[in-house]
Structure 1
C-alpha cells in the first residue's frame, strides 16, 4: 500500500496523516473546512519541529514528510487512488455510517476502509458497504506520532488477508499492532473508561478532590497522568460517548456515565479543548495543572 487517505484533520486525523507521511507514504488529508486543513498542516509542522528538537528527525526529514502530504476538501478526488482510507471523523455512529456508504461508492474496489473509532462497532460500519471483508478498525493512540500502540479491530467479516496487511502496515510505521475482536469499547476503552468514570464518581460522591484522585493514581499506580486530567485531554464529550456505547452495548449498569460527567458535557466544559474541565487550562503559563474553581473544595457534589 502506497496511497493513504485520512478523513478528518483534527487531533487524531492530523496525527495519523503525519505518521504515514513521515514513513514515506503518499497521504491525502481530507476535511470539509479549508481552515481546518490549514490548521492541521501547521500542527504537523510544529510537531515535526518538536521531533527535530529531540533529535528524532532531521530538517530534511521534515521537508520530505510535508512533501508527502496533500490536502483536499473534495472526498471523491482524495480517495480516487487510495489503497487504504482511514476515517478519523467525529465519534458519532451516524456520521461514520454515512461516510462509509459514500466511501464504498467512491473508492476503487480493492481499497481497504479503516476506522479510527475508539468504540463504535466495525461490524456495523461494514454493514453499510458492499465490502465488509475489507473493513477494519485501526485505533491509534494520542499523540499518534509518539504512541506505539494500534488496536486492530476485526469486524465479523474482516478477512485474514486484510488483517495481515494492516498488521504489516502498522509495523512499517514502527507501531505495535494488537488484534482485538469487535465488541463495545474493544480493549483499551473497555478498561480505561470505567476507570475514568469511577474516578469521576469518586469526585462526585465527595470521596476525594481532583488533585487527590489524580495523585493516588500517579504515585500509587505509576500512571503518567491521573484519570481526571486524562479525561480532560481525551475530551469529556468523547468519554461520555464511549461510556454510552459501552452501556448500550452490554446493558450493564457498571458502564452508566456518572451524572457529573453528563452535566459537564451539557454545560460545554469538555476539558482541554474548551480550556475548562476538571482543570483550568486558561493559565497556559502554569507549570502545574490548576484545578477548576468549581472543584477547588474537596467533596463537592453536583
Structure 2
C-alpha cells in the first residue's frame, strides 16, 4: 500500500488526518504556511495522542512511533514525493485553487490529489489542474480521530483508479466510506447537516425555542450524538455559514440561505468553541 502522504493544512482537520494516517503506518508530511501554524498542528496531535494513551486505546510506544512518522514543514514542495495528497485548507474556492495549481506542478504524475472540502464541487477544484482525473473528494469528519466516516466524492473527470486509491487509503486509516457519484455542492452529508442547521438557526432566531431545547430535541428525538447548534460551534460557525452559502450559491435553493443571525454571528466573531462563544458560551 502507498505509505507516503502529504497533508496540506495543519488545522483541526489536517492535523487529525495526519494523526490517523501516522498511526496507521503512513509517513506523513504536514504542511502549513507559517511555523506557528505547524507548531499548533503538532501540539494538537500530541495532545490527542496523549488522550488516547491515557484511555488505553493506543500504547505509548505506538503513539510515539506515530509522532515520529510526522514531518512538519512550511514547504509545499515537500508534497512532491507523496503518493496521496490531502488538501485541508480554508473552505474558499480561490484558496483551494491556489493550492491545487501548485500541487499540479509539484506532485508525482501518479499521485492522487484529495480535497477535504465539505461543500465545494470537486470538478471546480480539479479544473485548475492538468490532471482532473486524479482529483477526488476525501471528506473526513471532525474530530477525525473519533469519527469513522469518510465521504468520497467523484468529480466529473475523476478516474475509477483515483477513487479506488482514495478508498483504499481511507479504509487503511480506519474509516468507513460512502461514495458520492454525482458532484453536487454539499455532497450528501453537508447538504443534510446544512439544511438541518439552517432551520435550527431560524427556529432560534425567531424565538421558537432555545438553543438548548433545539439541540436536545435532535439528540433525544433523532438519536443524534450532538445537536446541530452545538455541532456548528464545534466545527466553527463560520465554516457552517460558508458551507451553506456555497451550496446556496450553487443551487439557489432557499433552504440553504444563511439566516441573518448566522451572518451576524460570523461578523461579530462568535464562531463557536474556537473563539469562546457561539450558540453557547465556552469562556469558562
Which digits, 9 at most, give the CA deviation of each residue in 1:102-142, with x for residues without a partner? 11011121111110000111101111001011000100001
| Paired residues of 2:7 and 2:88 also in contact (CA < 8 A) | yes
| Paired residues of 2:112 and 2:166 also in contact (CA < 8 A) | no
Aligned length: 282
Decide which moves more: 140-149 or 33-42: 33-42
Q: Are 1:15 and 2:16 matched, yes or no? A: yes
Any residues of structure 2 matched to 1:1-302 within 5 Å, and which?
1-76=2-77, 78-180=78-180, 181-283=182-284
Aligned mates of 1:213, 1:59 — CA distance in 2 = 40
Alpha-carbon shift at residue 50 of structure 1 (Å)? 1.0
Aligned mates of 1:243, 1:201 — CA distance in 2 = 13
Q: Secondary structure at the match of 2:130?
A: coil
Alpha-carbon shift at residue 18 of structure 1 (Å)? 0.4
Alpha-carbon shift at residue 37 of structure 1 (Å)? 1.0
| Paired residues of 2:114 and 2:166 also in contact (CA < 8 A) | no
Aligned mates of 1:117, 1:256 — CA distance in 2 = 19
Alpha-carbon shift at residue 52 of structure 1 (Å)? 1.2
Q: Secondary structure at the match of 2:41?
A: helix
Q: Secondary structure at the match of 2:263?
A: helix
Alpha-carbon shift at residue 150 of structure 1 (Å)? 0.2
Q: Secondary structure at the match of 1:90?
A: coil
Q: Secondary structure at the match of 2:113?
A: strand
Aligned mates of 1:129, 1:227 — CA distance in 2 = 35
| Paired residues of 2:194 and 2:244 also in contact (CA < 8 A) | yes
Q: Secondary structure at the match of 1:4?
A: strand
Which digits, 9 at most, give the CA deviation of each residue in 1:132-164, with x for residues without a partner? 110001000011111110000110000001111
Q: RMSD in angstroms over aligned alpha carbons?
A: 0.9
Aligned mates of 1:151, 1:253 — CA distance in 2 = 25
Alpha-carbon shift at residue 165 of structure 1 (Å)? 1.2
**Structure 2: where are the runs of 5+ without partners?**
none
| Paired residues of 2:132 and 2:157 also in contact (CA < 8 A) | yes
TM-score by length of 1: 0.92
TM-score by length of 2: 0.97
Aligned mates of 2:80, 2:219 — CA distance in 1 = 47
Aligned mates of 1:167, 1:210 — CA distance in 2 = 37
Runs (4+) of structure 1 exceeding 4 A deviation are: none
Alpha-carbon shift at residue 229 of structure 1 (Å)? 1.0
Aligned mates of 1:80, 1:167 — CA distance in 2 = 21
Aligned mates of 2:246, 2:41 — CA distance in 1 = 28
Please identify the structure whose Cα radius of gyration is greater: 1
**Structure 1: where are the runs of 5+ without partners?**
284-302
Which digits, 9 at most, give the CA deviation of each residue in 1:207-231, with x for residues without a partner? 1111111111112222111111111
| Paired residues of 2:112 and 2:165 also in contact (CA < 8 A) | no
